[in-house]
Amino acid sequence: QVQLVESGGGLVQPGGSLRLSCAANGFTFIRYAMSWYRQAPGKERELVAAITSGGAGSTNYADSVKGRFTISRDNAKNTVYLQMNSLKPEDTAVYYCKADRRGPYAGPLSVWGQGTQVTVSS
């Protein structure tokens, strides 16, 4: 099955930390750039962080999370992570994992995860 399986969401207090995981199945993980998006109620989905395909990915972040969040990937485990530190209430959203194919290879062009809820509240 072609899918992204997300885990790690939940409730955390302001200033706390949380790590999201996204496990890829059914496609060649190393050929895909990976990213995390989030969507709060009543707001548009926004890009949070991204990492390039291949064995040595470079990263980029939204200004709102830069310095607090870290995206990483483990190609041996077909998994991408989002480490979230110093969490704020405004980080509360549904977080989505996304895969985007790079190069003319077999497999889907893009895949979205189902989303996982992150709530930052005291």
If we measure between CA atoms, which residue out of 80, 7, 15, 86 comes closest to residue 49? 80
Phi then psi dihedrals of residue 115, to 5 deg: 95, 145
Gap between the Cα atoms of 118 and 9, Å rounded: 5
* Beta carbons of 107 and 49 less than 8 angstroms apart: no
Gap between the Cα atoms of 28 and 81, Å rounded: 17
In tens, the pLDDT along 77-118 reads 999 999 999 999 999 999 999 999 999 988 999 999 999 999
Burial class (CB in 10 A: 0-12, 13-18, 19+), 85: middle
In tens, the pLDDT along 4-17 reads 999 999 999 999 99
